[in-house]
Amino acid sequence: MVFSISLKQNQYSTYILSDETALSRVEVVPERGGIITRWSIQGQEIFTLDEERFTHPDLSVRGGVPILFPLCGNLPDNTYTHDSKTYTLKQHGFARELPWTVTGQGTDSCASLTVNLKSNNQTYSVYPFNFTVKFTYELDGKVLRIRQQYTNESDKTMPFSAGFHPYFFVPNKAELYFDIPGKSYQDQRTKENFPFSGTFDFEQEEIDVMFKPLSSASATMIDKQRSLKIDLTWSDFYSTFVFWTVKGKDFVCLEPWSAPRNSLNTGENLTELAPGETCEAVFTIRVDSF
């Protein structure tokens, strides 16, 4: 294997992780929410990216692999209460909007890039905790690993949830089949539960559903048109799996979350990290052809 890391300057500094033997490359933009924007294998794009939205820093990114922290989903009226004080926090949190800092890279056993997000005055006003979040992106052939460390640097317990929102490129949703570790899902809009048999009705304008509890820590998407099999695996840290797509768009989102919506208020599956403690997790995506 021949691994390399290069840097290109577009609107944002973009780090390119390459496995030249496998013709696999990942692009990471640290200053735009630490996001992975692209992954291509032998010329096939794994993710989609809304290029126009990406150029506007005031718009959320639709594409790549946005990072969800310190919450997943949204809160009623975008508010939560901690120690009798009410705070305002937008959907999916601030990690996907803030600049991350590159703190390490390597090309020995894989192409790896480490990025950090630290608390600051801006985050403290909406989330009153001191923290460091460290991600290491690792590319090895057709495998992409995201190693995570969440560290509480406060003198009080830090509640949070975290997750990912990958936008997988799919030109024809009718050719998809899914193996998701849940027998039923809940529709986010109606709160109704429906049995799941491996497919969705893509004639709906929007599909936004949650699987919980999960029977295993893995999921698979088969794209028969592109002859691709995409396997997702994750740590026990993740309790919830969300599927989201919009009619007429060339993506589906397969999202591991550590806790469901509104957990900062309800406490459901919320991670409560003691002062000085670190929580670690791994999310892995593997692509195979058939």
Peptide bond preceding 99 in cis form (omega within 30 of 0): no
> What is the residue-level pLDDT of the chain in tens, covering all 290 positions?
799 999 999 899 999 999 999 999 999 999 999 999 999 999 999 999 998 898 888 888 999 999 999 999 999 999 999 999 999 999 999 999 999 999 999 999 999 999 999 999 999 999 999 999 999 999 999 999 999 999 999 999 999 999 999 999 999 999 999 999 999 999 999 999 999 999 999 999 999 999 999 999 999 999 999 999 999 999 999 999 999 999 999 999 999 999 999 999 999 999 999 999 999 999 999 999 98
Q: What is the pLDDT of residue 10?
A: 87
Q: What is the pLDDT of residue 208?
A: 97
Contact 257, 244 (CB under 8 A): no
171 to each of 153, 208, 224, 289, how far by Cα in Å?
Answer: 44, 19, 11, 16
Q: What is the pLDDT of residue 58?
A: 84
Determine the CATH number of domain 3-289: 2.70.98.10
The distance in angstroms from the start CA to the end CA of the chain is: 22
Q: What is the pLDDT of residue 57?
A: 85
Distance between CA atoms of residues 261 and 144, nearest Å: 26
Q: What is the pLDDT of residue 1?
A: 74
Prediction pTM value: 0.97
Distance between CA atoms of residues 153 and 48, nearest Å: 35
Contact 66, 32 (CB under 8 A): no
Q: What is the pLDDT of residue 75?
A: 95
